[in-house]
Chains A and B, each alone.
Chain A
Amino acid sequence: TQLLEQSPQFLSIQEGENLTVYCNSSSVFSSLQWYRQEPGEGPVLLVTVVTGGEVKKLKRLTFQFGDARKDSSLHITAAQPGDTGLYLCAGLGSSSNTGKLIFGQGTTLQVKP
């Protein structure tokens, strides 16, 4: 069974601070997606990483896929209150025919003004 471990589970920081969220597994994933979810809403796709070592930037967010495609990280620079939410990583198994995603348990981020 493929699992994704996210850390930390909770993060409370002040506006302007930097942070990194990690997503780790012992399994290889074909691709990895990062989502952000607000309370009472569905996850919204932020980015997809496919190639080992790939780095993608989305404004103040930087996403990296590990060289071996077993781990990923999300770095936020100068966090703002609008970044508050649940961040989820989700992997597509390398042997998956159906495309089902395996999710980490999520990181709840609170950015205080």
Chain B
Amino acid sequence: DTGVSQNPRHKITKRGQNVTFRCDPISEHNRLYWYRQTLGQGPEFLTYFQNEAQLEKSRLLSDRFSAERPKGSFSTLEIQRTEQGDSAMYLCASSPGLAGANEQFFGPGTRLTVL
């Protein structure tokens, strides 16, 4: 399977705990995005990487959130001191970064539930 993969698919945690999610993009896609989706809504942009450089962060990304893409391949998204409001589906997408439409291909997501 050469699509975008995300792990874990589901995470249940208690308020105050830290969680980390992983995204493996499509090989050789140099653009990687994180989005967050709550029930009944469309995804909202969180952050963007071009290779290993994090070039944009949304205001939605509070200081409890940190993302990395150390070697320009896989990426991790960490949430510290989780709150119930962090419960959502966290989606990763990758793009080849070609000029034009910038089509993005999404992974299956990580469903986070904070109790």
Interface string of B69-111 (1 = CB under 8 A from A): 0000000000000000000000101010100111111111101
Question: Is A40 in contact with B111, judged by CB distance below 8 angstroms?
Answer: yes
CA distance A88 to B97 in the complex (A): 21
Residues of A at the B interface (CB closer than 8 Å) are 4, 6, 30-31, 33, 35, 40-45, 48, 50, 88, 90, 92, 98-106, 108
CA distance A106 to B50 in the complex (A): 28
**B6's closest neighbor in chain A, by CB?**
A42
With A42-B91, A90-B42, A103-B42 as contacts: A48 and B103 at CB distance below 8 Å: yes
Question: Is B43 in contact with A100, judged by CB distance below 8 angstroms?
Answer: no
**B3's closest neighbor in chain A, by CB?**
A42
Question: Is B100 in contact with A31, judged by CB distance below 8 angstroms?
Answer: yes
CA distance A99 to B55 in the complex (A): 11
CA distance A43 to B105 in the complex (A): 8
CA distance A50 to B99 in the complex (A): 12
A contact residues around B65 at 8 Å (CB): none
Question: Is A33 in contact with B44, judged by CB distance below 8 angstroms?
Answer: no
A–B Cβ pairs within 8 angstroms, 11 of them: A6-B42, A31-B101, A40-B108, A42-B91, A43-B43, A45-B103, A48-B103, A99-B102, A100-B56, A106-B41, A106-B42
Question: Is A99 in contact with B41, judged by CB distance below 8 angstroms?
Answer: no
Nearest CB of chain B from residue A100's CB, rounded to whole Å: 4
Question: Is B106 in contact with A42, judged by CB distance below 8 angstroms?
Answer: yes
CA distance A86 to B91 in the complex (A): 15
Question: Is B42 in contact with A92, judged by CB distance below 8 angstroms?
Answer: no
B48 close to A (CB within 8 Å): yes
B48's partner among A35, A100, A104, A106 (CB-CB below 8 A) is A100
B contact residues around A108 at 8 Å (CB): 40
Residue of A41, A48, A100, A108 with most partner-chain B CB within 10 A? A100
